[in-house]
């Protein structure tokens, strides 16, 4: 129900399980959940009782991405900062992380899973870099994660075509670590997280940091570029058009038209009223 906590936290035997809890929206992440998730990750990073973290979703879905239908009057720069905080906190979390994926993991939801160290999914899970269907570009670290996981060409395929993959197809590309039957995934992840929690915490933290640093040092630059691009996307007609088309169950008509109203120059008020904003 909408009055329930948007993020459930459960601790057991050194494993902290974070459950996105907006099942009526397939766990799409709104402003409140972004802030709650960031705050929880921030506190988890310094909690020595936590040895491993599992991220999952309630109601048979992992996460359907950022909730673009939720009212949010914040400037896009501030909205993107919320995503940036979560991506960096998850990436820099010292303990191992596991994404347990049932159902959909699309857009920022898929990149949230990819930001974890290991991904366990069911064969029925569905993955998509859905951004272009919404008139948007990659975010939550997708432009940094995908090329490193699958190579540049496959990353472009996934991002430009927004194809939907099942669990087995995602595993074949190296985007899922294990595919486990639906009736076995809870036990499998519990055992996996328990093994990680039982490991040497400092060595695991150092190993994770070394692997992350060895891959690249430019995540902050990638996230800054994504935030800039996403701000530009929100200033076009395509993002609201995609939302309207989704609500009306029709194909979106993308134009790339610029919708930000420019201030009128002194003495040119009348001409500005008749000028379009396609430039």
Q: For residue 2, is it within any domain?
A: no
Q: Residue 272: pLDDT band by 50, 70, 90 thresholds?
A: very low
Of the segments 90-94, 198-202, 241-245, 271-275, which one has the largest average pLDDT value?
A: 90-94
Does 211 share its domain with 138? Answer: yes
pLDDT at 25: 95
pLDDT at 75: 74
Counted domains in the chain:
2
Using one digit for the tens of pLDDT, what is the confidence trace for 20-37? 999 999 999 999 999 999
Q: Residue 59: pLDDT band by 50, 70, 90 thresholds?
A: very high
How far, rounded to the nearest angstrom, does the alpha carbon of residue 179 sit from its chain's CA centroid?
20
pLDDT for residue 259 is more than 90: no
Q: For residue 55, is it within any domain?
A: yes
pLDDT at 79: 79
Q: Residue 275: pLDDT band by 50, 70, 90 thresholds?
A: very low
pLDDT for residue 271 is more than 50: no
Q: Which residue has the higher pLDDT, 259 or 60?
A: 60
Does 170 share its domain with 254? Answer: no
Q: For residue 279, is it within any domain?
A: no
Percentage of the residues of the chain whose pLDDT score is greater than 90: 63
Query: Are residues 95 and 70 in contact, defined by beta-carbon separation less than 8 angstroms?
Result: no
Does 252 share its domain with 212? Answer: no
Using one digit for the tens of pLDDT, what is the confidence trace for 137-164? 999 999 999 999 999 999 999 999 999 9
Lowest mean pLDDT among 6-15, 33-42, 197-206: 197-206
Q: Which CATH number belongs to the domain containing residue 21 in this structure? A: 3.90.226.10
pTM of the model: 0.84
214-243 average pLDDT score: 74
Q: Residue 217: pLDDT band by 50, 70, 90 thresholds?
A: low
Q: For residue 221, is it within any domain?
A: yes
pLDDT at 132: 95
Instruction: Note down the domain range covering 240.
Output: 235-274
Q: Residue 177: pLDDT band by 50, 70, 90 thresholds?
A: very high
């Amino acid at each position: 129900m909408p009055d329930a906590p948007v993020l459930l936290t459960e601790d057991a035997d050194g494993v902290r399980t974070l459950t996105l809890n907006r099942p009526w929206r397939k766990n799409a992440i709104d402003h409140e959940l972004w802030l709650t998730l960031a705050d929880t990750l921030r506190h988890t990073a310094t909690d020595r009782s936590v040895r491993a973290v599992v991220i999952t979703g309630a109601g048979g879905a992992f996460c359907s991405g950022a909730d673009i239908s939720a009212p949010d009057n914040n400037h896009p720069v501030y909205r993107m900062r919320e995503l940036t905080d979560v991506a960096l906190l998850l990436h820099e979390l010292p303990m191992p992380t596991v994404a347990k994926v049932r159902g959909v993991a699309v857009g920022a939801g898929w990149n949230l899973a990819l930001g974890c160290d290991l991904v366990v999914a069911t064969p029925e899970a569905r993955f998509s870099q859905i951004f272009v269907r919404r008139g948007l570009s990659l975010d939550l670290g997708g432009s940094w994660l995908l090329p490193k996981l699958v190579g540049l060409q496959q990353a472009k395929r996934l991002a430009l075509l927004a194809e939907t993959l099942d669990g087995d197809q995602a595993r074949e590309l190296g985007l899922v670590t294990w595919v486990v039957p639906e009736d076995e995934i809870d036990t499998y992840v519990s055992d996996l997280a328990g093994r990680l929690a039982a490991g040497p915490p400092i060595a695991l933290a150092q190993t994770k940091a070394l692997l992350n640093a060895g891959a690249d040092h430019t995540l902050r630059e990638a996230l800054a570029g994504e935030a800039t691009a996403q701000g530009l996307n929100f200033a076009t007609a395509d993002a609201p058009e995609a939302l309207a088309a989704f609500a009306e169950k029709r194909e979106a008509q993308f134009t790339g038209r610029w919708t930000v109203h420019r201030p009128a120059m002194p003495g040119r008020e009348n001409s500005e009223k008749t000028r379009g904003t396609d430039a």
